[in-house]
Amino acid sequence: MGWNSWNTFGENIHESLIEETAAALVETGLAEIGYRFVNIDDCWHAEARDDEERLTWDAAKFPGGIPRLAEAVHGMGFGFGIYSCAGTHTCAGRVASFGNEEKDAQTFADWGVDFLKYDYCNKPFGVDGRTLYFRMGQALRSTGRHIIFSACEWGNTEPWLWGRQAGCHMWRTTGDISDSWESIKAIGFSQFGKELYAGPNAWNDPDMLVVGMKGVGNVAAGGCSLDEYKTHFALWCLLAAPLLIGCDVRSIDAESLAILGNRRLVAVNQDKMGAQARLVGSDYHHWDHTLFPTLVKPLADGGLALGMFNLHDERTVQLQAAWEAIGLHDRRPCQVQDLWTGEDLGVHRSFFCAKAAPHAGVVVKLTPLPL
Ligand code: GLA
């Protein structure tokens, strides 16, 4: 959990932005809720490597230098993240790590980096991309510093099959997100079938959050409604996806803060069982899985997080989940709690149903009681 510069700021990053963001994460309470990494994405680099072939920073953007910035970010209680790429150049054309993996891993460790996002642009022709992630994973381990390794090859070579072995702690499963309902829907509801590959220290990553961008910034694409942002966040929590905020937290509005700061949903996301929700159906309803997907995430305390979503563009619908369909005995009573509001929705047997507006969801926790 943390923040990343790309979604809102793209190449327009500066050390004061990074420090102000860390301060804003503390002031808003988001840091205390668990957003503990401050990550710089692409475009922090100088034009070329230094005299000793080491990567170095753009001195106009980072006049105090990256090591000092890392120290400042650490001083505020955060981990510090940086970005490089497995190819010769990053996606935005900056100098990258191909052929210099050991040197760059050591540089990052020397700077106090705690998290590395590793992209996939400009890979030399004929080179097996997977090997490049194994190589950087090995280089990072050789530094002796614990650095979270985030692979970003967009799901091209099924990184869920080999990422864990390459030393990756998370891997992107899709192309880039944008701040629109179409993007959230396409990415968020395309994750089914990969749940067996996720677990503690190894996560499927459907890209960073756009909650709170409201149509402004680098990946802006019209913005989303409040219900759409809530669906986005609830879905990422159910999917046990990494939660990296992408908006400008210095000026975040109250509604977006309430979404990102919902402790019950964050607890579902961070649940120590580490299960990624699976898609289920129901025998009691004419489900259309495409229009009304129902997800269930088992939790370590024996409870289940249930999300039922209405992807219809105009109609409010009644959504229903039958216990049978989600792996419970059909007479098992369950205490139901609304995860958005915390409201106790009573004890239910056999099924639970509730209405959802277009693009909204019903997101609840089921706590099974004795039969
Ligand atoms: C790729 C990645 C993005 C971002 C940009 C930076 O597109 O998928 O998340 O890091 O590169 O250039």
Judge whether residue 283 has pLDDT over 60: no
Q: Say yes or no: CB of residue 41 within 6 Å of ligand 1.
A: yes
Q: Say yes or no: CB of residue 119 within 6 Å of ligand 1.
A: yes
Judge whether residue 285 has pLDDT over 80: no
CA of 117 to the centre of ligand 1 (A): 9
Contact 74, 121 (CB under 8 A): no
CA distance 6 to 40: 8
**In Å, how far are 10, 120, 259, 282, 334 from 184, measured between CA atoms?**
19, 22, 15, 24, 31
Question: What sign results for the dihedral spanned by CA atoms 269, 272, 274, 279?
Answer: negative
Residues 6+ apart with CB under 8 A from 259: 211, 212, 229, 230, 233
Nearest to 321 by CA among 359, 291, 283: 283
User: Per-residue confidence at 284, pLDDT binned at 50, 70, 90?
Assistant: very low
Q: What type of residue sits at position 276?
A: Q
Average pLDDT, the chain: 96
Q: Structure tokens of 242?
A: 């990494």
Q: Say yes or no: CB of residue 205 within 6 Å of ligand 1.
A: no
Q: Which pLDDT tens digit goes with each residue over 251-261?
A: 999 999 999 99
CA of 34 to the centre of ligand 1 (A): 24
Please spell the DSSP secondary structure of 225-289, one letter per residue. Answer: -HHHHHHHHHHHHHTT---EE-S-GGG--HHHHHHHT-HHHHHHHH-TT-PPPEEE--TTS---T
Q: Say yes or no: CB of residue 90 within 6 Å of ligand 1.
A: yes
Report the residue among 82, 116, 119 best suited for mutation to probe ligand 1: largest number of ligand atoms under 8 A from its CB: 119
Paired with 158 in beta bridges are none
Q: Which positions are catalytic?
A: 119, 176
Please spell the DSSP secondary structure of 184-197, one letter per residue. Answer: HHHHHTT-TT-GGG
- What is the structure's pLDDT at 290? 78
Burial class (CB in 10 A: 0-12, 13-18, 19+), 17: middle
Parallel, antiparallel, or unpaired: how do β-strands 333-338 and 344-349 relate? antiparallel
3-class SS at 130? helix
Measure the N-to-C terminal CA separation of the chain; round to a whole number of Å.
37
Q: What is the mean pLDDT of residues 167-193?
A: 97
Q: What type of residue sits at position 158?
A: E
Q: What is the mean pLDDT of residues 20-28?
A: 98
The protein residue with its alpha carbon nearest to ligand 1, atom 6, reads 42
* Angle CA 241–245–246, to nearest 5: 120
Judge whether residue 45 has pLDDT over 60: yes
- What is the structure's pLDDT at 330? 87
Judge whether residue 149 has pLDDT over 60: yes
User: Per-residue confidence at 288, pLDDT binned at 50, 70, 90?
Assistant: low
Paired with 12 in beta bridges are none
- What is the structure's pLDDT at 323? 94
- What is the structure's pLDDT at 263? 98
CA of 25 to the centre of ligand 1 (A): 23
* H or E segment to which residue 102 belongs: helix 101-111
Q: Structure tokens of 175?
A: 């192309």
Q: What order do you get walking across the sheet with 244-245 strand by strand?
A: 203-205, 170-172, 148-151, 115-119, 79-85, 37-39, 2-4, 244-245
Q: Which pLDDT tens digit goes with each residue over 334-371?
A: 999 999 999 999 999 999 999 999 999 999 999 999 98
Judge whether residue 159 has pLDDT over 60: yes
Q: What type of residue sits at position 239?
A: L
Residues 6+ apart with CB under 8 A from 368: 302, 303, 304, 328, 332, 333, 334
Percent of the chain whose predicted confidence (pLDDT) is above 70: 98
Q: Which pLDDT tens digit goes with each residue over 234-248?
A: 999 999 999 999 999
Nearest to 166 by CA among 192, 191, 201: 201
